[in-house]
Structure 1
Amino acid sequence: MRIAMIGTGNVGRALAAGWSRAGHDLVFGSRRPDDEALREELAEAVGARVPVLDPASAATGAEVVVNATPGTESVALLGAVGARALTGKVLLDVAVGFREDGALSHPVESLGEELQRAFPGTAVVKTLCTVDAGLMCAPHALTGPSTLFLSGEDAVAKRTVGALLRDLGWPEESLLDLGGIATARGQEHYSLLFLGVAGALGTYGFGIRIVPPAAEG
């Protein structure tokens, strides 16, 4: 599958490396596509030389587009990519936005919802924003099973994203479909608790697990 990573930071690099190992065809979308130093950094991070194009060109040729940009800038950056390049694609949204004061940039409506409204012809699926970049491709590093969430309106798109998550090592039983894109609010708001837990544990390397009630009888 051809996957376009929009964003070349830690999250984009980690996910590109994971999906490259799984055999997918990766391309980065960057505002600095001709920066040779960036190209070398990305090749080292991924473990293979990956094409680096401008964001619109990267998205146009991909089946799945991954939003790994800063959440405060995602709408503008993807707006520059353009609805035409994103129409008919799955947009896997990982981003969460924080203001300078540490508050969420989307306190009422989630970024995932805003992106879905901005690009109605694109199937937005929110996931992966409840774990640190280092664990996105390494769920086996945890001491036990962890839960990963999916939010989105399109069932086919969520199945596509679920398959990509399994390619990163997340077993089917770890994936919990929360429902429509409005449920992305919960995923994004969890980031506040995530930071609190990280401070208490002294590490970002943890997951969460949804524990269902015991069966009656």
Structure 2
Amino acid sequence: MKIAILGTGAVGTTIASRLVEIGHQVMIGSRSKTNEKAIEFVQKFDRNISNGTFEEAANFGDIIFNCIKGEFAVGALKSIEKIIDNKILIDVSIPVNTKNGMPFTLIPELCNTNSLGEEIQKNLPNTKVVKTLNTMWSTLMMTPSMLKDGDHTNFICGNDTEAKETVKILLKEIGWKEESIMDLGDITGSRGMESVLHLWWKIWGSTIGTFSIKVVN
């Protein structure tokens, strides 16, 4: 499958590496095709990966991962709206407010009664937005078995049921167990998923090593 990764940070490059490893063709996109970080990253591989602009990557991918910083995501995605019409956009970003330093908080207009996932869907009504993978460290996203043999919870939400099923197939290919994927319903589930940031920071500051969330009943 052809998959685009928008964003060249730790999350984007970790996802790209894993997708190439399991046999997908990947293009990592940034604002400029001459982005040195993207070029340097791509040169580590001998096949199945390339870099380009957001527009080129969006054209390339059958599925697109949004790994753009939350504060810039809506504007960047809006600029390629027509290209990603009717495509699946997997949103792993969080609307982090970095203006006041750490500990980070959520952008006020994108929490409580709204979320980044919802805002993206609102601005790209023809794109099939699916939120997932945003409640854990980037390496754990792509290697769930590194913690308790994958026995922890990954949440997913979105308005399009068929799109979510397609994303679930990809998640299982990455290594997620079906019983560890919890569907929270429509895209308003992003509110809870993104709000985990507050809990995540507190846990991160109180523990050493890799951790995740598990829902038990």
List alignment gaps of at least 5 residues for structure 2: none
- Per the alignment, do residues 187 and 142 of structure 1 end up closer, same or farther by CA in structure 2, a change over 3 Å counting? same
**Aligned pair in 2 of structure 1 residues 207, 85: CA closer, same or farther (>3 Å)?**
same
Distance 1:208 1:43, change over 3 A: farther
- 1:120 aligns to 2:118 (yes or no): no
Q: Which structure 1 residue ranges, 5 or more long, are not aligned?
A: 213-217
Q: Match of 1:89? A: 87
Cα separation, 2, equivalents of 1:47 and 1:137? 20
Equivalent residues, number: 209
1:98 counterpart letter in structure 2: V
Q: State the distance in 2 between where 1:4 and 1:166 align.
A: 18
In structure 2, distance between residues paired with 1:28 and 1:115: 20
Amino acid at match of 1:176: M
- What is the CA-CA distance between 1:51 and the residue it aligns to? 1.2
- Identity in percent: 34
Take 1:32 and 1:169, find their aligned partners in 2: how far apart are those partners?
A: 32
What TM-score, normalized by structure 1, do the two folds share? 0.91
User: 1:59-74 counterparts in 2 under 5 A?
Assistant: 59-74=58-73
In the aligned structure 1, how far is the partner of 2:42 from the partner of 2:95? 24
1:110 counterpart = 2:108: no
The 1-side partners of 2:130 and 2:175 are apart by 18
Is 1:53–2:52 an aligned residue pair?
yes
One-letter amino acid of the counterpart of residue 146, structure 2: A
Structure 1 residues 84 and 49: CA distance shift in structure 2, 3 A: same
1:138-217 aligned at under 5 Å gives the runs: 138-144=143-149, 145-203=151-209, 205-212=210-217
- Quote the offset at 1:34 in angstroms: 2.4
Query: Contact between 1:124 and 1:153, CA under 8 Å: does it hold in 2?
Result: yes
Question: Runs of 4 or more off by more than 3 Å in structure 1?
Answer: 35-38, 46-49
Using a 3 Å threshold, how does the CA distance of structure 1 residues 199 and 24 change in structure 2: closer, same or farther?
same
Distance in 2 between residues matched to 1:195 and 1:182, nearest whole Å: 22
Shift of residue 191, structure 1, vs aligned partner: 1.2
Q: Which amino acid in structure 2 is aligned with residue 118 of structure 1?
A: N
The separation in 1 between residues aligned to 2:17 and 2:79, in whole angstroms, is 26
Pairwise CA distance, 1:49: 6.2
Letter of the 2:92 partner, please give it: V
